[in-house]
Chains A and B, each alone.
Chain A
Amino acid sequence: MRKKQSIFQLLSQKPWEPEQAKLDDLHDGETLNLSKGKLGLRFIMFVSTIFFCLFIVTYSDRMIYADWQQMPEPFMLWFNTLTLFISSSVFIYIQLSAKKNDFDKVKYGLIIIGFLALIFILGQLFVWNQLINLGYYVSTNPANAYFYVFTTLHGIHLLGGLFYWNITLRKVWYPKNVEINKSKHTIELCAIYWHFLLAVWVVLFGLMIFS
Chain B
Amino acid sequence: MAADSYEDIAVDKGDVIPALEVPPQELYHAKSFWTKWIFCQDAKVIGIQYSITAIAIGLVALVLSWLMRLQLGFPELFPFLGAAEYYQFVTMHGMIMVIYLLTALFLGGFGNYLIPLMVGARDMVFPYVNMVSFWVYFLAVLVLVASFFVPGGPTGAGWTLYPPQAITSGTPGGDGLGIILMLISLSIFVVGFTMGGLNYVITILQARTRGMTLMRMPLTVWGIFTATVLALFAFPALIVSCIMMTLDNLLGTSFFMPAIVEFGEQTEYSGGSPILFQHLFWFFGHPEVYIVALPAFGIVSDLISVHARKNIFGYRMMVWAIVIIGGLSFVVWAHHMYVAGMNPWFGYFFATTTLIIAVPTAIKVYNWVITLWRGNIKLTIPMLFALGFIVTFVNGGITGLFLGNVIVDVPLSDTYFVVAHFHMVMGIAPVLVVFGAIYHWFPLITGRLLHEGMGRFHFWVTFLGSYAIYFPMHYLGFVGVPRRYFEMYDSEFMAVSTNYLNQFITVVALIVGFTQILFLYNIITSSKFGKKADKNPWKACSLEWRTPEVPPTHGNFGKELPVVHRWAYDYSVPGATDDFIPQDIPASQVPNAEVEKT
Residues on A lying within 8 angstroms of B by beta carbon are 10-19, 21-22, 24-32, 34, 36, 39-40, 43-44, 46-47, 50-51, 54-55, 58, 61-62, 65-68, 138-139, 142, 145, 149
Contacts and interface: CB of A to CB of B under 8 A. Distances in A.
A65 B201 contact: no
Contacts of A51: 236, 239-240
Q: How large is the interface on B (under 10, 10 to 19, 20 to 34, 35 or more residues)?
A: 35 or more
B243 interface: yes
Contacts of B198: 40, 43-44
Interface stretch (B316-324, B333-341, B344-352): B316-324
B213 A24 contact: yes
A62 to B, nearest CB: 7
Contacts, number: 157
Contact of B271 (A55, A65, A149): A65
Interface string B50-64: 000000000000000
B251 to A, nearest CB: 5
B565 A34 contact: no
7 contacts: A22-B11, A36-B202, A43-B202, A54-B240, A58-B240, A58-B280, A139-B254
Contacts of B206: 29-32, 34, 36, 39
A15 B336 CA distance: 39
A40 B247 CA distance: 30
Contact of A54 (B9, B119, B280): B280
A128 to B, nearest CB: 14
A39 to B, nearest CB: 5
B567 A16 contact: yes
Contact of A15 (B194, B215, B232): B215
B276 A32 contact: no
B21 to A, nearest CB: 12
Given A54-B280, A138-B251, A18 B595 contact: yes
Contacts of B597: 16
Contacts of B311: 16
B319 A25 contact: no
Given A16-B596, A32-B206, A54 B236 contact: yes
A163 to B, nearest CB: 13
Contact of B252 (A50, A139, A149): A139
Contacts of A28: 20, 210
A29 B212 CA distance: 6
B202 A15 contact: no
A50 B315 CA distance: 32
Q: Lowest 7 A-B CB distances belong to which pairs?
A: A29-B208, A139-B252, A67-B271, A18-B9, A145-B253, A51-B236, A21-B9
